[in-house]
Amino acid sequence: MIACAEHFLPGNDAEPKPDDDVVSSLSKTLGVQAITTDDLGIASKDFGGLKFVKPLALVRPYTTDDVARVVRAAGRSPTLTVAARGNGHSINGQAMAEHGLVLDMRSMNELVQLVRINGAPYVDVSGGALWEDVLKRCVSEFGLAPRSWTDYLSLTVGGTLSYAGVSGQAFRYGPQTSNVTELEVVTGKGETIVCSKTQSPELFFAVLGDLGQFGIITRARIVLQEAPHTVRWIRVVYSEFEEFSSDAEWLVRREEGESCFDYVEGFVFVNSDDPSNGWPTLPLDPQQVFDPIHIPPSAGPVLYCLELALHYRHSDNPSRVDAVVDGLLGRLRFIKGLKFQVDMGYTEFLLRVKRDEEHAKINGVWDAPHPWLNLFVSKSNISEFDSEVFKKILKDGVHGPILVYPLLRNKWDSRQSVVVPESDIFYIVALLRFSPAPPKGPSPQLLVEQNRQILQLCLAKAFDFKLYFPHYHSRQDWINHFGNHQWSRFVERKTAFDPMAILAPGQKIFSRVPQPYSFTQ
Ligand code: FAD
């Protein structure tokens, strides 16, 4: 029941304010540990490195009760807001709270508990748990693993569930929000509610993909499956977008029971020897070489890569694995001669971006600003998006991965709060920029402007698209993002679960409502 509130000390001339009183009384109720000045900064910055916002205090809750007490205390003040901070890997300050309370969710007591219901395995984990820890514990202790992932796993369970959580398994299992069966949530009213499809279903569906607006996830129950031992990781290259996309769609549409890869992603890269944007980024192993002799003369400024993986177990016959891979690859129209593959452990595969993180830290691009742009673009517009954006605006690359791969809409539950395009198939497009900070690299403002130009183009051409990790400045933009029907539902949910707009102020969707609300103590 101990929590620690780190107070951002006001300057000498600052008079104590009512909110300061809330913090000091909160400190007493929660049982404050020493206030250190060392790590105050984590609450005022994020991975994006574009926003710096000073909160009133950073609070370290250890239990769900601590979280509920902080929300109730904020509700007693006319102005205080509360931002749950996962691992702060947002781009635009979404986990920040200007002059509000930031909850460091990673400080919550660790929970990784196996649950069996009618024989089926699930794991109960804290909202502040990192996915990489969930992976390691589930594989090493139970031989089991969640089914749906993100590419990078130093993200928290609550942080990705408040968006969607997408990677190369989502075509089969849906996003991470489709792989959770029960949540424990602290609402903006300070109530702690356990919810599922059958128990308080309104809250359950509302919270999944809610941008943190309706509740703080303190526990999630995640579907597990048997963990494979090994993964065959494959990259094949295309020069024509139509061939790349139709092969990718053929793979993700494979029916359950038909042989298919377990992971399907894709990306765009520059057709040149540029070390951070071009051919050298393709090989999976230092021994492999990208030989451009295979590229047809008709190829344009960019090339495309389908990234695939097949899971298998030690007991599987290697010739069966080869036969499945060869059978599937034999149906694809990639450039022969431009295929790369390695076999590696399952955990090592899922932690692959951790190795990129280590390199990026050494090169200084991990801590530089990251003006990223993430979109869902309908299948009907993706070819034109390729011609206008990949081949023109981004023809020199983004100094990092440009992901593009198809997802199936029927794997997304429309009762959840996340919004996606209308069409049966839509593509995730992610511009994961890793430019060095100025003066070595371009100014972040220039890259933000390039993102704006891409969005303007999508709007001007009336593409069916949605921002993933949306970030808007005006109410009208938010209404446009959700569409009238879903916006009404979003507002109703806000009124029901966080009527004073205490939660997730960094998303800048609703403003704090000052009128008092009757909180239970
Ligand atoms: P934070 O940034 O701390 O918080 C994000 C939002 O969630 C905030 O609004 C916050 O208030 C809210 N929140 C945090 N914890 C909780 C909680 N317990 N309950 C309720 N709300 C909460 N995303 C993908 O889908 N697929 C990927 O492959 C992928 N790869 C990535 C790779 C990198 C290197 C990075 C930096 C990000 C990637 N992301 C990916 C994006 C990532 O999913 C989001 O940025 C996510 O929000 C980060 O989680 P976090 O724990 O850092 O959340």
Output the DSSP codes for 292-348.
GGGS-TT--SEEEEEEEEEEE-TTS-HHHHHHHHHHHHTT----TT-EEEEEEEHHH
DSSP 160-216: HHTT----TTHHHH--GGGGEEEEEEEETTS-EEEEESSSSHHHHHHHTTSTT-SEE
Report the nearest atom of ligand 1 relative to the CA of 90. 2
Catalytic residue set: 89, 151, 265
Residues 319 and 371 in one domain: yes
For residue 23, what pLDDT is reported? 72
* Ligand 1 centroid to residue 314 C-alpha, Å: 34
340 shares a domain with 191: no
With respect to residue 38, please indicate whether it lies within any of the assigned structural domains.
no
The pLDDT assigned to 280 comes to: 97
Q: Kindly state whether residue 426 falls inside one of the protein's structural domains.
A: yes
- Angle 18-22-27 from CA coordinates, rounded to 5°: 145
What confidence score (pLDDT) does residue 40 get?
60
In a shared domain, residues 174 and 254: no
Task: State which ligand 1 atom lies nearest to the alpha carbon of 207.
Answer: 20
Burial label for 387, CB within 10 Å (0-12, 13-18, 19+), is exposed
Residue 405, domain member (yes or no): yes
Structurally, the chain folds into a number of domains equal to 2
Question: Given this model, what pLDDT does residue 17 score?
Answer: 61
Residues 379, 462 within the same domain: yes
pLDDT tens-digit series, residues 391-409: 999 999 999 999 999 999 9
DSSP-derived 3-state class of residue 78: coil
Beta-bridge partner residues of 266: 306
Gap from CA of 291 to ligand 1 centroid (Å)? 37
Q: Which of 101, 148, 150, 468 to mutate to test the pocket of ligand 1 (most atoms within 8 A of CB)?
A: 150
Residues 199 and 251 in one domain: no
- Of 240, 264, 271, nearest to 333 by C-alpha is 240
Whether residue 262 sits in one domain with residue 191: no
Low-confidence ranges of the chain (pLDDT < 50): 1-4, 7-14, 32-38, 516-521
Residue 378 CA: distances (Å) to CA of 75, 194, 244, 406, 480: 41, 35, 16, 9, 16
- Please give the residue range of the domain that contains residue 170: 112-226
Model confidence pLDDT, tens digit, residues 270-289? 999 999 999 999 999 999 99
Q: Domain with 131 in it: what CATH number?
A: 3.30.465.10
pTM of the entire structure? 0.95
Claim to verify: residue 206 and residue 134 sit in the same structural domain: yes
**158: in domain:** yes
Give, for ligand 1, the residue of 45, 98, 152, 219 to mutate: max count of ligand atoms closer than 8 Å to Cβ: 152
Centre of ligand 1 to C-alpha 154, Å, is 9
Identify the sign of the CA torsion 463, 465, 470, 476.
positive
Cα(211) to centroid(ligand 1), Å = 9
Q: Distance of CA 180 to CAs 146, 204, 215, Å? A: 10, 10, 16
| 29 found inside a domain | no
Q: Are 212 and 252 in the same domain?
A: no
pLDDT of 30: 63
Task: Mark whether 238 and 196 lie in a shared domain.
Answer: no
Pocket of ligand 1 (CB under 6 A): 46-47, 83-90, 94-95, 105, 127-128, 150-152, 155-156, 158-160, 162-167, 211-212, 216-217, 504, 506-507
Residues 138 and 237 in one domain: no
pLDDT score, position 109: 80
Quote the pLDDT of residue 97.
95
| CA angle, 420 then 263 then 236, to 5° | 105
Q: How far is the CA of 90 from the centre of ligand 1 (A)?
A: 6
Does 298 share its domain with 333? yes
User: Within this chain, do residues 158 and 254 fall inside the same structural domain, yes or no?
Assistant: no
Identify residue 350 by its one-letter amino acid code: L
Ligand 1 pocket mutation, candidates 89, 161, 204, criterion most atoms within 8 A of CB: 89
Does 512 map to a domain? no
Distance in Å from the first CA to the final CA of the chain:
16
